[in-house]
């Protein structure tokens, strides 16, 4: 375990771990892969605020320096441009492994889920760090069980257009469990359901970012298929709280982390209209292959074992990302006049 000297004034005292002689308290060194991305950068904000030393490893495939630039002057923060598909040597106590091309338009491009996860598990093993993998609700595929419970094994097409993501994450879970069982590595598995919020990639094709950007640009909202498919949308701060509770807790998981509030895409379009522009038009487009018909997390396990549940509803969370999107799209923020 890595220790660093720190001032009494900067103590967190979260772990109760016994300290070597001469050390006042423990400051965690945390690696966040994919930390310049949407979820990762919000996680980094929380870890930095808690007083940790944070290393972000990111190849900027979909992430942006802008998302973490506000930490650059802090000596507790380091940013390394690196592709996790290649090995790397670092000394840390915890690893949040988020690096992954995570949206339909990007995820077919590389083997991050398998090779990247293997390298980060190898690193965790070498330095005896606790390892958290951000898996996904996509491991349930087009689910035959509703809502999805962690014990459900899923319905995934192994040769479909989405399978590099679904199967990649399934392999990532498998590798994590093998390192846990075979090598006693401390692992944590989160299965994340659709998440939205500020700093979401603007054009990676996910539905919430698409609708919000379209409404702001006065373009029609593109609903794929008949729009009756459902998803359950979680605000990013709820997710980050869940990830940290999972990391700090005693349970391996997997844990579903998502908001059980379920919406059809047409209902989502309506909320976006109400929030941004009641006159926004809706345009129907052909749906992608293998699109899951419905998705909603059963979060009983996380409630019971992590004491976690989401707090921000879609109607509360959506406006919070609109001013960020407006700023990035038009370079101004008219949210106050909204």
Q: Which stretch binds ligand UDP (CB under 6 A): 26-34, 84-92, 236-244, 256-264?
A: 84-92
Is residue 124 within 8 A of residue 185, CB to CB? The reply is yes
Binders of ligand UDP among residues 174 to 233 (CB under 6 A) are 194, 205-207, 210, 222-224, 229, 231
Q: Which does 101 bind (CB under 5 to 8 A by kind): ligand NAD, ligand UDP, none?
A: ligand NAD
Q: Which does 102 bind (CB under 5 to 8 A by kind): ligand UDP, ligand NAD, none?
A: ligand NAD
Number of helices and strands (H, E) in the chain? 8, 13
Q: How far is the CB of 293 from ligand NAD (least distance, A)?
A: 18
Catalytic one of 96, 165, 196, 235: 165
Q: Which does 297 bind (CB under 5 to 8 A by kind): ligand NAD, ligand UDP, none?
A: none
Q: 3-state class of 256 per DSSP? A: strand
Does the annotation mark 235 as catalytic? Answer: no
Q: Which stretch binds ligand UDP (CB under 6 A): 2-10, 23-31, 81-89, 141-149?
A: 81-89
Nearer to ligand NAD, 281 or 293 (CB): 293
Task: State the Cα–Cα distance between residues 273 and 288, nearest whole angstrom.
Answer: 24
Encode 220-236: b = buried (16+ Cβ within 10 Å), e = exposed.
Answer: ebbbeeebebbbbbbbb
Write the DSSP assignment of 200-229 as a string of letters: --TTS--HHHHHHHHHHTTPPEEEETTS--
Residue 199's nearest CA partner among 31, 34, 32 is 34
Which chain residues interact with ligand NAD by CB under 6 A? 33-34, 36-40, 57-63, 83-85, 98-102, 110, 112, 116, 134, 136, 192, 194-195, 201
Q: Which tokens in the block code for residue 277? A: 């522009």
Q: Which does 63 bind (CB under 5 to 8 A by kind): ligand UDP, ligand NAD, none?
A: ligand NAD
Taking the CA atoms of residue 257, residue 104, residue 275 and residue 238 in that order, the dihedral angle to the nearest 10 degrees is: 20
Q: How far is the CB of 147 from ligand UDP (least distance, A)?
A: 14
Residue 84's nearest CA partner among 142, 128, 40, 48 is 40
Is residue 246 within the footprint of ligand UDP (CB under 6 A)? Answer: no
Pick one of 1, 80, 85, 88: the residue that binds ligand UDP (CB under 6 A): 88
The H or E element containing residue 241 is helix 236-248
Is residue 257 within the footprint of ligand UDP (CB under 6 A)? Answer: no
Task: State the Cα–Cα distance between residues 118 and 183, nearest whole angstrom.
Answer: 13
Q: Which residues are catalytic?
A: 165
Provide the binding-site residues for ligand UDP, judged by CB under 6 A: 87-89, 104, 118-119, 122-123, 125-126, 194, 205-207, 210, 222-224, 229, 231, 265, 287-288, 291
């Amino acid at each position: 375990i890595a220790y660093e000297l720190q001032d009494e004034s900067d103590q967190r005292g979260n772990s109760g771990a016994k300290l070597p002689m001469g050390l006042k308290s423990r400051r965690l060194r945390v690696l966040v892969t994919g930390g310049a991305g949407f979820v990762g950068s919000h996680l980094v904000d929380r870890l930095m605020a808690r007083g940790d030393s944070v290393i972000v490893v990111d190849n900027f495939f979909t992430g942006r320096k802008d998302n973490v630039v506000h930490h650059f002057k802090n000596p507790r923060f380091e940013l390394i441009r690196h592709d996790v598909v290649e090995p790397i040597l670092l000394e840390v106590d915890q690893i949040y492994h988020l690096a992954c091309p995570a949206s339909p338009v990007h995820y077919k491009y590389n083997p991050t889920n398998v090779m990247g996860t293997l390298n980060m598990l190898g690193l965790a093993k070498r330095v005896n760090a606790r390892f958290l993998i951000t898996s996904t609700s996509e491991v349930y595929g087009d689910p035959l069980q509703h809502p999805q419970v962690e014990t459900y094994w899923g319905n995934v097409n192994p040769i479909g257009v989405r399978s590099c993501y679904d199967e990649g994450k399934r392999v990532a879970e498998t590798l994590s469990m093998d390192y846990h069982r075979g090598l006693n590595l401390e692992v944590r598995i989160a299965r994340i359901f659709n998440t939205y919020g500020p700093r979401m990639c603007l054009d990676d094709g996910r539905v919430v970012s698409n609708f919000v950007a379209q409404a702001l640009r006065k373009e029609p909202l593109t609903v794929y298929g008949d729009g009756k498919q459902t998803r359950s949308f979680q605000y990013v701060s709820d997710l980050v709280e869940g990830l940290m509770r999972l990391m700090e807790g005693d349970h391996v998981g997997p844990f579903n982390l998502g908001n059980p509030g379920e919406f059809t895409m047409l209902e989502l379009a309506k909320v976006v209209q109400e929030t941004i522009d009641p006159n926004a038009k809706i345009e129907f487009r052909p749906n992608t292959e293998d699109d899951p018909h419905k998705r909603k997390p059963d979060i009983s396990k996380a409630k019971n074992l992590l004491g976690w549940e989401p707090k921000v509803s879609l109607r509360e969370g959506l406006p919070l990302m609109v001013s960020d999107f407006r700023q990035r799209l038009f370079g101004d923020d008219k949210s106050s006049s909204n």
